[in-house]
Structure 1
């Protein structure tokens, strides 16, 4: 079964208030963002507030995105200040996920953190390996979301060589880097794919600036590839809901339901 969630950082509110707002918009789950400059989520009191809001609203907290890793790359030299900060942020996020019963932490690799060279790939693999070793045998997975094609993602997975690593695939981001999300789904073995995907579209190479199915991301092809894989997990909307959230969320949920939910057993 495919369930629909939303990413906290593209909503028209923040903090704990994002959970009742997600429920109001019609989403079942939420992915929370973690930033180096705001470590409040690591405090037990705020964790309890999030968990209480989740219980009260029925909105599941399904993952953490360490958004600061777009400026603190995984491939930072391990003995550098950036490398130590990157590892510390990943460790804190994983500890928080374990404390809150959240099953996925993912590390984005865009902008300054885009992996371009083989040396960067090897350094990123080493950092991801260290993260995976922190959660060995624990009920949480670590994922990478990046700009790589299927072949280079496989190379990254081989270098990390750990069963706790997954690849999170977005329905639009690959287009910006010369790939198609549907092709990534087909070419990357399903055992390496996260059971949480990002759903968004875009126009003129801008992420999330149009509703699903109305941009250049070929969202219908992405959904068909998920169906072909008999995907069971979360699709989390990353459309920009900071304005006109009610209208846009309703349109996105209608599109996702039309493409997916009609095929699912009740």
Structure 2
């Protein structure tokens, strides 16, 4: 295992700043959703990956012993730890499926498989998604979702694994679910693009839920309400600059995991979004008056004083590596 760097290998974080998040990518959005993604991530200089449990129409099935062994070996070979395992198949089955239905039973089986796989791969966090057939629409959906999360908590905690619930819900409905679970050991998997897709403000949700959020944030932009598609960071409607200012004003993420659409031309698209991420981090820290480097003064937590004639981007580039 390689020695962990003081800052991301992606070389996009602030050189002289105290804020040095790790950067990774969700492999289910890269190329073949499988082993080739590790090389893509390593070539981009990333620090970690998130993988999907897989299954029908979901890419490589990690419940297969040989597939699991291949992922483990490839993670080690590229020194890229798997820091989260998503059970995206739950979106096809439904956390909200009626109790005792085949879909509900298969959802629980999938979670049990995920816990065993995560334990085998030394993955510290499992992501439980709440989209499509798992989307909460009615009060009874809150109770059913909370019941499944309670079911998962016991074996996950016994294995030292944290559960992270991800959805497009607003802050109040999210808190309802977490409170309905009624047990510690579960957090919010925050995503910068999901709120815009579902008509919410990401910055407001982070301000309300930062204390119960995972330290890792999924990073993507969005085309618009009810539209999920490929858009470079900063070119969509997710208001990322406001969200990153919210990160700077409250406990900020310790890592970001890119979740744009990198299924085609993966390397250049990841490189494009890494460059955008660098700018977002720099602007938010300068606007929030946090982590300013030597020679770049901050004013009262709301602005910066720069050398005469120096633009904001020039100021960022002065202390951020490309």
Residues 155-191 of structure 1, C-alpha deviation per residue, up to 9 Å, x if partnerless?
111110121111111111111222111111101151x
Partner of 1:196: 216
- 1:39 CA displacement: 7.2
Higher share of residues assigned helix: 1
Partner of 2:136: 115
Is the Cα contact below 8 Å between 1:10 and 1:242 reproduced in 2?
Answer: yes
Size of the aligned set, in residue pairs, is 265
77, 81, 85: which one pairs with 1:64?
A: 85
More moved, 62-71 vs 223-232? 223-232
Q: How do 1:51-200 and structure 2 match up within 5 A?
A: 51-190=72-211, 192-200=212-220
Partner of 1:253: 274
For the aligned residues, what is the CA RMSD? Answer: 2.1
CA distance in 1, matches of 2:71, 2:173: 37
Partner of 1:28: 47
TM-score normalised by L of structure 1: 0.92
- 1:150 CA displacement: 0.8
Partner of 1:16: 35
More moved, 39-48 vs 125-134? 39-48
Gapped runs of 5+ residues in structure 1?
Answer: none
CA distance in 2, matches of 1:79, 1:66: 20
More moved, 239-248 vs 179-188? 239-248
Does residue 1:213 correspond to 2:241, yes or no? no
Is the Cα contact below 8 Å between 1:241 and 1:249 reproduced in 2?
Answer: yes
CA distance in 2, matches of 1:66, 1:173: 17
- 1:48 CA displacement: 3.0
Does residue 1:236 correspond to 2:236, yes or no? no
Change in CA separation of 1:136 and 1:59 when aligned onto 2, cut-off 3 Å: closer
Gapped runs of 5+ residues in structure 2?
Answer: 1-19, 286-290, 294-319
Query: Runs of 4 or more off by more than 6 Å in structure 1?
Result: none
CA distance in 2, matches of 1:195, 1:208: 25
Partner of 2:311: none
CA distance in 2, matches of 1:261, 1:48: 39
CA distance in 1, matches of 2:166, 2:112: 17
Whichever of the two has the greater Rg, that structure is: 2
TM-score normalised by L of structure 2: 0.77
